[in-house]
Structures are given as structure tokens and as C-alpha cells.
A and B are shown apart, each in its own frame.
Chain A
């Protein structure tokens, strides 16, 4: 793997963002389709959307930090093209899951 000159945090949090985006979309489908998930999220903070935000933002922060600790503290290794591709695909997929779900359900 060549040295891209990009910081480990840019790599790690970029990958974490892509994963958290897809999980965000899947969580929307889960809470709308499974009443127990919605009820659990409602119970967690008092409002399902607050719980949803806390879970996704927490996942983004934790995954980003974990990926930055990989490879003996050097962080996860990716090419820049792979990072950008993963980032755009993750955000795009997460967004399309949400739009598609409500478009189909409306």
C-alpha cells in the first residue's frame, strides 16, 4: 500500500461515515417495520429520533476511533480512490434506502 499522505483520521472517519450512513438507512427501515424496535428506541431517550441520532453519531465516533487504532495505531489503510468510492457509495446507499423506503411507503 503506497503512502497517500492522508491522515489516519481522514481514512478512519471516512470509512466510519460510510458504514454509519448505511446503518442509518437500515435503522430507519427496522424501526418503521418492527414495532418493538421503535418502542425500544422510544424508551431509550424518550423520543425515537433522539435515540436514532445518538446511536448513529455514536457509531460514527466509535468506529472512527477504532479504525484509527488499527495496524498498531497507524490506522486503517486504504487508497484514496477506495476511500472516496466507499464514502460516496455509503452516503449514496444510506440516502437512497431512506428516500426509497418513504417513497414506496407514501
Chain B
């Protein structure tokens, strides 16, 4: 992070803007970190449910709750960033060579993420039953966890494309 600060300072940007720039990046990184944490914990739940027994049921429930909490944190942080910081990036993307990074990838991401949030919230509800004794309950959790993982991977890909859209716009602006 100090590297980023130094980079901004060497560009002749003042202290206040440097602070804003670093905070903006921190918020964005926290969003990605919690999103990945949700993905990993949900994958953990999926594998644990495939090997469910009396001994790991408690862990499955805790990990399901953790996945939901991580997803809510990722969503709330992303919401803050999207409302207050994204308009600048959006303008860069739309003026650059990759306008579809906003018009398709961001537009779909900001609405598909609501599905992901509901699925992640539903996961601990579905995992609350007796999974070791009930095959039907296991099937529901496996389907929900599978959809969470697939949607989360899609969101990560969308996020990467949006970041590339900003980069392409900035590079095009330098030439």
C-alpha cells in the first residue's frame, strides 16, 4: 500500500487526494477479499456436505453462517463503493476502448450479485437441518452451495473485466 502512496505522491498529487486514493483502493480490496472468502467457505461447505457425519455437522453450520456474513460484508462494501466511488471509473470506462466493461459486465454484476446475496443468506437456513441423517436436506445444501460458488466465480470474472476496462481507458487516455 505504501507503494501506491509513493506512486501517487510522485505524480504530484496532494496529501488529501493521496488519502482518498488509498482509502478507495482499500475499500475495493476489502470487497474482493470478502467475496473470495465467501467463495472459499461455500466450497468448504460443499465438500464437507459430501462427506457429512455427526462430527462435522457443527462445522458445516458455522461455515455456512460465515459464508453468509462474508457475502453481506462484500455486498455492503461494494454498495458503498459503487454509489460513492464508481462514477469516476464509469466515466473512464465509457470513454475508453472497452465500454462493454460497464454496459454489460458492471450492469449484469450489480444485479446478479443480489441473487448471490440471497443464495448465500439462504445457505445457513438450508444447512440448519440434520444433514447426516437426511439425504434430502443434503441435496438442497449441495445445490445452493453449488450455485453460490458458480455465481461467485462469475462475479470475480466480471470484477476483473471491469478493472481491465478502467485500465484500458486510462492507457488510452495517456496515448
The contact string, 1 if C-beta is below 8 Å from chain B, for chain A 41-56, is 0000001011011001
The contact string, 1 if C-beta is below 8 Å from chain A, for chain B 118-150, is 110110011011100110110110011001000
Contact B139 A99 (CB under 8 A): no
Residue B44, interface by CB 8 Å: no
On whether A13 and B122 interact (CB within 8 A), knowing A50-B83, A84-B143, A106-B100, the answer reads yes
> Taking beta carbons and an 8 Å cutoff, which residues of B are in contact with A?
79, 82-83, 100, 103-104, 107-108, 110-112, 114-115, 117-119, 121-122, 125-126, 128-130, 133-134, 136-137, 139-140, 143-144, 147, 151
A12 to B151, CA, bound (A): 22
Residue of A nearest to B133 (CB): A5
On whether A49 and B110 interact (CB within 8 A), knowing A17-B118, A87-B144, A88-B147, the answer reads yes
Contact B114 A52 (CB under 8 A): yes
On whether A24 and B111 interact (CB within 8 A), knowing A6-B137, A53-B79, A91-B119, the answer reads yes
Q: Kindly count the residue-residue contacts between A and B in the assembled complex, taking CB atoms under 8 Å apart.
A: 90
**A28 — which chain B residues lie within 8 A by C-beta?**
111
Interface size of A as a range = 35 or more
Residue A71, interface by CB 8 Å: no
Residue of B nearest to A31 (CB): B111
**A47 — which chain B residues lie within 8 A by C-beta?**
83
**B118 — which chain A residues lie within 8 A by C-beta?**
17, 20-21, 56-57, 60
Taking the closest CB of chain A, its distance from the CB of B117, in whole angstroms, is 7
**A99 — which chain B residues lie within 8 A by C-beta?**
108, 112
Residue A66, interface by CB 8 Å: no
Beyond A80-B136, A102-B107, A106-B104, 13 additional contacts (C-beta under 8 Å) are A5-B133, A6-B137, A7-B128, A17-B122, A49-B82, A52-B114, A60-B118, A80-B139, A87-B143, A87-B144, A95-B151, A99-B108, A105-B103
Contact A91 B114 (CB under 8 A): no
**B122 — which chain A residues lie within 8 A by C-beta?**
13-14, 17
**B117 — which chain A residues lie within 8 A by C-beta?**
57
A13 to B111, CA, bound (A): 20
**A17 — which chain B residues lie within 8 A by C-beta?**
118-119, 122
Residue A37, interface by CB 8 Å: no
A99 to B126, CA, bound (A): 27
Contact A56 B137 (CB under 8 A): no
Contact A91 B111 (CB under 8 A): no
A53 to B71, CA, bound (A): 14
